[in-house]
Amino acid sequence: MRDIMAPESGRWRAFTQVFAEVVEAAGYQLVIPPMMEDLGVFSRIGDATDVVTKEMYDFVDKGARHVALRPEQTASVCRAFAQHRPLTPWKAWYSGPNFRYEKPQRGRYRQFDQVGIEVLGADDPYLDVEVIALGWEFYRRLGLEQLTLLLNSLGEPDDRARYVDALRTHFEAAGGDLSDQSRSTLDKNPLRVLDSKRREDAEIIAAAPTIDQFWSDAAAEHFATVQRGLTALQIPFTIDMKLVRGLDYYRRTTFEYAGGTLDSAQNALGGGGRYDGLVEDLGGPPTPGIGFALGVDRTLLACDDEGVFTAPDPAVDVFVVDTTGGGEALLVTAQLRAGGIRADRSYENRSMKAQMKAANRSGAAYAVIIGTDEVEAGTAVVRPLRDDGAQVTVERDSLITDLHSRVQGSNS
Ligand code: HAM
C-alpha cells in the first residue's frame, strides 16, 4: 500500500476530474458506496475466483459480523441498487480504493484505485456500445495512444454453462499434459484455465473449443450489434475469444482496454462487461447490468510510459514577501485568496533575501513585495519570478485587478 505524494497526488485528482467530466456529460451520477461490506456481498463475485477465495481482506468485527474491505465496486453498486431501488436505467459512476491481497509489483498493489461506471436496468446492445465507448473516450482524453480494445461475448448463461462443460471435457482429456496449476484451476473453473500463461498449457489451450460455437442466436445477434455500433463510432476493437475476465458474474459482452507498455500480466488497464443476474443474486429484482472499472494506478503508469497526462503545476500564482514583520503578509494573502489569486507567503519574519529564496522555490509567477515604504504609500511592488521582466509598483487598491490580468496573461 502506497502513499501518493504531491505533485503525483494532483495528477490523481485531475484524473478523477476528467473521468467525471466524460461520464457526467453522458448522464452518469456519482455513487459513493462504503469501503467495507458484509462478506456475503462480495462472495457473489464468484467463489471460484482468486479475488474471493485468496485475496479478500475479511475479518470479524466487534459485533461478530463477518465483513470485508471491498475488492471491487460492482457488487456494492448492485447491492445499493437492490436496497434503494432507484429509477431505471440507473447510470452511476464511482471512484475510490479497493483492496486485494495480491503479490505487489509494478502495476499490481494491495490497495489500488478504480474509476468506473455501471448501468442497471437496461438490456440494449447499444448501451454496451455507449459504455465501451465512454471508457475509450476517457483514455483518448488522457492522451493514451497505445490502447487496444479487446472484445468477447460469454453468451447467455446457458451458452456459457455448455461452454464450460465442453472446456472441462477438453482439458480433462489432456490429463497429465496440463500444468499442475491448471489442473487445480480446472476443478474450480475451467474458464480460468484459458488465462494460464504456462508454456506446457499453450498448445492445449490453443486447441480448446471457442465460445462462438456455443452462442445462442440471441447472444450472437446481441454481440453482432455491439460490433456494428463500435464500428459506426469508429472505435477499433479486436475479438478475443479467450477473454473470460477474472470475476464470475459476466454474461454476454465482456471487454478489456489493454495498454501497450506494461508487462503482459499487468497490461489490462481496465475492463468490464454485462452481469445480468448479479442484482438478483444480491436480493433485488431481475435486472440487467453492464459497466467497467479502470485501474487508476495502472493507467497512470501507462501515461508515464507514453509521456502523456503529466502532473498539473501545483504552484501558487503569487508569493507575498513582507519585510515589516509579517502582519502585512497576513492581510494581503487573505485579500488575494479571497479575490481568487492563489497566494502563499513565508513565516517567522525572515530576511528579505530568505523570503525571496522561498518565493523562487515556490514556483509562483510573481512576488508581491511590501516594505515600510510601500505600507506608507499604500502600494506594493510586483516582481515577475519566472522571467526577467521589470518590476512595477502598484496601488494596493488595484492589486487584485492588476494581478488577475498578469496571471491570466502568464497562463495563456
Ligand atoms: P477487474 O478486471 O478486476 O474488474 O479490475 C478492473 C481494473 O482494475 C483492472 O483492469 C486493473 O487496471 C485494476 N486492478 C485490478 N486489480 C488491481 C491491483 N491489484 N492493482 C492495481 N490495479 C488493479 C473489476 O473490478 C470489475 N468490477 C469491473 C466491472 C465493472 N465489470 C463490470 N462493471
Concatenate the DSSP letters of all residues of 160-190 into one string: HHHHHHHHHHHHHHHGGGS-HHHHHHHHH-H
Residues 6+ apart with CB under 8 A from 297: 107, 109, 112, 113
- 137 CB contacts (<8 Å, ≥6 apart)? 22
Binding pocket residue ranges, ligand 1, CB within 6 Å = 72, 74, 100, 102, 108-109, 112, 114, 116, 118, 246-247, 268-273, 275, 291-293, 295, 297-298
322: β partners: 370
Element (H, E) at 409: helix 399-411
In the numeric block, which cell numbers belong to residue 211?
Answer: 465460445
Question: Among the atoms of ligand 1, which is closest to the Cα of residue 257?
Answer: 10
Q: Which residue has the cell 499453450?
A: 202
Hey, what CATH topology would domain 8-156+215-306 get? BirA Bifunctional Protein; domain 2 (3.30.930)
Cα 69 to middle of ligand 1, angstroms: 15
Q: Which distant-in-sequence residues (6+ apart) come within 8 Å of 78 by Cβ?
A: 118, 120, 275, 278, 279, 282, 284, 287, 289
The Å distance, Cα 30 to ligand 1 centre, comes to 18
Query: Which residue out of 28, 72, 95, 250 has the highest number of ligand 1 atoms within 8 Å of its CB and is therefore the one to mutate?
Result: 72
**pLDDT tier at 370 (50, 70, 90 boundaries)?**
very high
Residue 261 carries which DSSP code? S
Least trusted range by pLDDT, from 245-254, 343-352, 367-376: 245-254
- 3-class SS of residue 376: helix
Q: Is the pLDDT of residue 164 over 70?
A: yes
The single residue listed with the C-alpha cell 455501471 is 118
Return the closest-CA partner of residue 373 out of 346, 390, 354, 352.
Answer: 352
Q: Quick one: pLDDT at residue 105? A: 93
Strands 268-274 and 251-259: antiparallel
Mean pLDDT of the chain, nearest integer = 95
C-alpha to C-alpha distances, 261 to 63, 147, 265, 305, 385, nearest whole angstrom: 46, 9, 11, 7, 38
pLDDT bin (cut points 50, 70, 90) of residue 265 is: confident
Exposed/middle/buried for residue 150 (C-beta within 10 Å: 0-12, 13-18, 19+): middle
| Nearest atom in ligand 1 to 294's CA | 7
Distance, CA 262 to ligand 1 centroid (Å)? Answer: 15
Work out the average pLDDT over 75-96: 97
C-alpha cell belonging to residue 147: 490502447
Distance 309 CA to ligand 1 centre (A): 21
What cell does 234 get? 469508429
User: Residue 53 has what pLDDT?
Assistant: 85
| Confidence check: pLDDT of 409 > 80 | no
121 close to 288: Cβ distance less than 8 angstroms:
yes
User: CA-CA distance, 87 to 70, in Å (whole number)?
Assistant: 25
For 76, other C-beta atoms within 10 Å of its C-beta total: 23
Confidence of residue 392 (pLDDT cuts 50, 70, 90): very high
In angstroms, what is the span from residue 202 Cα to ligand 1's centroid?
25
Return all residues near 361 (Cβ < 8 A) that are at least 6 apart: none
Whether the predicted pLDDT of 90 surpasses 80: yes
For the chain, domain boundaries: 8-156+215-306, 318-411
Query: Where does 318-411 sit in CATH, by number?
Result: 3.40.50.800
Q: pLDDT at residue 195 above 70?
A: yes
The protein residue with its alpha carbon nearest to ligand 1, atom 30, reads 292
411 pLDDT exceeds 70?
no
pLDDT digits (tens, 9 = 90+) for 268-303: 999 999 999 899 999 999 999 999 999 999 999 999
Where does residue 69 rank: exposed (0-12), middle (13-18), buried (19+ CB within 10 A)?
A: buried
Q: In this model, does residue 264 exceed pLDDT 90?
A: no
**What pLDDT score does 98 carry?**
98
CA-to-CA dists, residue 42 to 100, 191, 201, 238, 284, angstroms: 12, 20, 30, 31, 15
Alpha helices in 189-345 (DSSP H): 190-193, 199-206, 217-232, 278-281, 296-306, 327-338
Instruction: Look at ligand 1, atom 9, and give the residue with the nearest C-alpha.
Output: 270
Over residues 208-222, the pLDDT tens digits come to: 999 999 999 999 999
Q: How confident is the model at residue 263 (pLDDT cuts 50, 70, 90)?
A: confident
Number of H helices, E strands in the chain: 16, 16
